[in-house]
Amino acid sequence: MTVIEKLQQALGDEAVRTSPEDLSVYAFDGTAILFQLPTCVVLPESVDQVATILTIANDMATAVVTRGSGTGLAGGSVPSPGCIVLCLVKLNRVLEVDTANLTMTVEPGVLTQKIADTATAAGLFYPPDPGSIKISTIGGNVANNSGGLRGLKYGVTRDYVMALEVVLADGRVLQTGTKCVKDVAGFSLRDLFIGSEGTLGVMTKITLKLIPPPETKATMLGLFDQMTDAARTISAIIEARIIPCTLEFLDRTTVACVEEFAHIGLPTDVEALTLMEVDGHPAQVAEAADQIEKIALEHGAREVRRASSEEEATRLASARRTAFSALARRAPTVILEDITVPRSELAKMVAAVERIAKEHDLEVGTFGHMGDGNLHPTFLTDERDKVEMQRVEVAMKEMFQTAIDLGGTITGEHGVGLAKKPFLRGALGDVPLDVMKSLKGVFDPKGILNPGKIFD
């Protein structure tokens, strides 16, 4: 019996999608260019079904690529050749909001936005807000340890995961972590699964930490005539020991694209725009906002504008989240990078991105979470232009090397997947990579889980 027949026998014929149409729409994620048809697609509706699918796949040594909404930006959920796509969007129940312990337990297919909204409805706050929050699933967020616009003050997804239920490659179900604030009973397997990109197990239940929401916030826009001035401002804010919740930045090209889509009156005649937000106690917020304004003006800001209302602040943050997609207005193919450097090195990195793009005659739109040192230089290109694509490749390598030389990393929040795989050994060195591979062998001896991602 083939793997398809076995799955059909276990789940029913209808549950296993094999038509060319169904295979085509699960052949990609949010990453440019990458495309690979799977063998079949399954959308389980219970943990038992997930375990059944994995048991069959393991028996038949067939690859399984787990995905949610497919918004990944490093090809982590692009099918491996011959694989089963395990799409978890139908495992989408909020199981519990525990207001006594300030936790929420959900299935992996719940949308991040729904988690944020559910927390808000309970008078609580779930801070991680990746750009794709409206459609990304929490399972994907945990598997990639997603960041977002509030990382600077509130951290990333890892900081909010308390417990996981995971189906292992052989179909066994593992629980790791508890609702306890302190828990040192054995290795923290939970932390191993976070950011493992579907290579170690399939998460089926996630318990998240929630916090009380900030009382108030102030949102500001900094207008700069030079990119490096914006970068210096960010570094200076951190150096002044102010920790805003958001310190975002967009360059001229990105601002133009976002404004074209969102029509919210962003200034399009600037070289860089910073979105700066502080939250907390009203008195602290007011003081920090004044300080930030002063620092920005001292470091060459042409002007600092304050959002007049909560709605305007939300509009600005929402617009910022569309930056990557909006850049697609400029070119048929957009290739997004995710380099991150220590915040003191921001100005150097920003200057290097500009220089490298110019040297290779490439159009690059840059935006990112400057407060985290996390930049998203985005190549605006056309995949059909092979010559230009080669130049993109070279420029990308140079940017990675610069980031590493400055003490940074090749990916801050998108993950390694397929897109960054060739550069991982160079970034980490041999020993960490060898240990990772050994661990992978323990969890997934037959190598069925998302094979070929992160490393070969």
Whichever of 177 and 198 has its CB closer to other proteins, that residue is 198
Q: How many helices (H) and strands (E) does the chain have?
A: 16, 16
Burial 290-320 (b: 16+ CB within 10 A, else e): eebbebbeebebbebeebeeeebbebbbebb
Minimum separation from the CB atom of position 380 to other proteins (A): 11
Whichever of 132 and 402 has its CB closer to other proteins, that residue is 132
Helix (H) or strand (E) holding 105: strand 103-106
Minimum separation from the CB atom of position 325 to other proteins (A): 4
Residues facing residue 103 across a β-bridge: 98, 209
Minimum separation from the CB atom of position 225 to other proteins (A): 26
| CB < 8 Å & 24+ apart, contacts of 279-288 | 279/153, 279/214, 279/215, 279/216, 279/217, 279/218, 279/245, 280/214, 280/215, 280/216, 280/217, 281/215, 281/216, 282/215, 282/216, 285/216, 285/217, 285/218, 286/218, 288/218, 288/242, 288/244
Whichever of 129 and 293 has its CB closer to other proteins, that residue is 129
Whichever of 24 and 268 has its CB closer to other proteins, that residue is 24
CA distances from 257 to 268, 325, 412 (A): 9, 9, 24
Whichever of 258 and 304 has its CB closer to other proteins, that residue is 258
Q: CB–CB of 113/141 below 8 Å?
A: no
Q: CB–CB of 27/36 below 8 Å?
A: yes
Whichever of 4 and 326 has its CB closer to other proteins, that residue is 326
Q: What is the DSSP string of 316-359?
A: HHHHHHTHHHHGGGT-SEEEE-B-B--GGGHHHHHHHHHHHHHH
Whichever of 89 and 152 has its CB closer to other proteins, that residue is 89
Minimum separation from the CB atom of position 365 to other proteins (A): 13
Minimum separation from the CB atom of position 455 to other proteins (A): 25
Minimum separation from the CB atom of position 120 to other proteins (A): 16
Q: CB–CB of 202/100 below 8 Å?
A: no
Minimum separation from the CB atom of position 132 to other proteins (A): 6
Closest CA to 138 of 168, 118, 167: 118
Whichever of 243 and 331 has its CB closer to other proteins, that residue is 331
Q: Which tokens hold the place of 224? A: 């700069």
Minimum separation from the CB atom of position 334 to other proteins (A): 6
Whichever of 317 and 428 has its CB closer to other proteins, that residue is 317
Whichever of 38 and 244 has its CB closer to other proteins, that residue is 38
Minimum separation from the CB atom of position 90 to other proteins (A): 5
Minimum separation from the CB atom of position 399 to other proteins (A): 20
Q: Which tokens hold the place of 164? A: 């996981």
Minimum separation from the CB atom of position 324 to other proteins (A): 7
Pairing status of strand 246-251 against strand 272-280? antiparallel
Query: Alpha helices of 38-174 — where are they, by DSSP H?
Result: 47-60, 112-121, 138-144, 151-154
- What count of other Cβ atoms lies within 10 Å of the Cβ of residue 121? 9
Cα separation of 34 and 78, whole Å? 7
Whichever of 27 and 389 has its CB closer to other proteins, that residue is 27
Burial 162-177 (b: 16+ CB within 10 A, else e): bbbbbbbbbbebeebb
Would you tell me which residues interact with other proteins (CB under 8 A)? Answer: 19-22, 24-30, 32, 43, 69-71, 87, 89-90, 92, 111, 113, 132, 134-136, 257-258, 260-262, 322, 324-326, 328-329, 332-334
Q: Which tokens hold the place of 134? A: 């409206």
Minimum separation from the CB atom of position 333 to other proteins (A): 8
Whichever of 87 and 428 has its CB closer to other proteins, that residue is 87
